[in-house]
Amino acid sequence: MVRPPLTRLEHERGHRLGMLLREARGPRSMAEIAAVSGVPAETLRKIETGRIATPAFFTVAALADALGLSLTEIARACAGRPGDAALSA
């Protein structure tokens, strides 16, 4: 089955998610968050850089738990409108 290409909005949401995760990780290493969350460091890197714009729900949930974020916080952060200031940073 071929997956349809992501929309611009999906790419923008993925970018916002990556920025949020990077900020929440702070000085902690990707390896540390990977060990706590069970998500491979390479997957975390791809999410943070936007290469995985639509990660699986359970991946996001595991990262949220490891970073002390609620799923509500993540949903709010990623629900911004296209062109929001967070995207131009």
Domain boundaries, the chain: 8-80
Whether residue 22 is predicted with pLDDT greater than 70 in this model: the reply is yes
In the chain, the DSSP E strands lie at none
Q: How many CB atoms lie within 10 A of CB 8?
A: 8
User: Which one, of 67, 83, 64, 65, lies nearest residue 13 by Cα?
Assistant: 83
Give, in words, the CATH class of 8-80: mainly alpha
Could you tell me the pTM of the whole model?
0.84
Q: pLDDT class for 2, splitting at 50, 70, 90?
A: confident
Distance CA 25, CA 43 (A): 14
DSSP 3-state of 40: coil
Alpha-carbon dihedral sign for residues 58, 60, 61, 66? positive
Distance CA 40, CA 87 (A): 26
User: Over the chain, what is the mean pLDDT?
Assistant: 90
User: Which one, of 68, 83, 71, lies nearest residue 17 by Cα?
Assistant: 71
